[in-house]
Amino acid sequence: MQNLYDVIIIGAGPAGLAAGLYASRAKMKTLILEKNKVGGQIVTTNEVANYPGSVHEATGPTLIARMVEQAEEFGAERKKDTIVDVDFTEKIKVVKGEKEEYKAKAVIIATGATPRPIGCPGEKELTGKGVSYCATCDADFFTELEVFVIGGGDSAVEEAMYLTKFARKVTIVHRRDELRAAKSIQEKAFKNEKLNFMWDTVVEELKGDGILETIVFKNKKTGEINEYHADEEDGTFGVFPFIGFIPFSEVFKGKIELDQGGYIPTDADMKTNVEGVFAAGDIRVKSLRQVVTATADGAIAAVTAEKYIENNFEE
């Protein structure tokens, strides 16, 4: 069959690139498809301090550039295309893009997820400049500064408590008058002396000249507007929105099992409920979404795909 790949990897973030490296190194004909620029969420990170073995002063873009280089060194092919449909019903899987149609013996889905934004003016411009969506990644940058966590669910409260280890003061800003987090988590939060709460409040705007300097709040019940300005000595503060993630799984609806949140359930070997289709990285149901777990997923998915092809396709 003309232009048949062993493995097609959808997504070129850390999971997809790691899968591409392992698949191509195993001498499989490998194609990595990405609709936008490579790298996923990590390319917006100015410093990568918690990826094991990363070089001094590594950034998201430099780390991704090296991953791309490694995958291509072993022969992985990369194409830019937006996937509009897939057909996983037959032994040979079909991936349909806006530009071309692709076929493979196995498919690894590594489309990722994106943090749900607040949606207020200034948020996009100040991301990475005071606005962060990852406490594990960036908490250290806010040592002894003030921090606002937006949200009231399990993740928001847990991340807020984590941030109290670094920031001098952490305020949870929630649009309701009570938290949605589990009662056990709430109990711990209310006992934490560094944690403060702003109820019935939403963020209207974020301001700053190259760095976050002002946050504008609105009380939903009274309509009152308040502005918080960074302490003069600090110069800035932190805003961490934790109001959920949006998985890039729309195109897979009805083609593969998804959970209620739109994530893909897999087993420990990255197998989905469809033979020959695997998932890796942030698109997968998992407890920790970090570069290190994404690359591990990608490696496992590629090795499992190789074994699947060996067992199901004759030479």
Residues forming the active site: 134, 137-138
Q: Where are the beta strands (DSSP E) in the chain?
A: 4-10, 30-34, 77-80, 83-87, 93-97, 101-109, 113-115, 146-150, 169-173, 195-198, 201-207, 214-219, 225-229, 238-241, 245-247, 277-279
Sheet holding 214-219, edge to edge: 201-207, 214-219, 225-229
Residue appearing with tokens 């001498």 = 27
271, HSE (Cβ side, Cα atoms, 13 Å) = 12
How far is the C-alpha of 292 from the C-alpha of 313, rounded, in Å? 32
Looking only at the bridges linking them, the beta strands covering 201-207 and 214-219 are antiparallel
How far is the C-alpha of 16 from the C-alpha of 161, rounded, in Å? 32
Dihedral sign (CA 46, 49, 50, 53):
positive
The three-class DSSP label of residue 59 is coil
How far is the C-alpha of 241 from the C-alpha of 69, rounded, in Å? 33
How far is the C-alpha of 158 from the C-alpha of 165, rounded, in Å? 12
Find out whether 14 and 113 touch, Cβ atoms under 8 Å.
Answer: no
The three-class DSSP label of residue 132 is coil
Displacement of CA 21 from its chain's centroid (Å): 20
For the chain, what's the residue count?
315
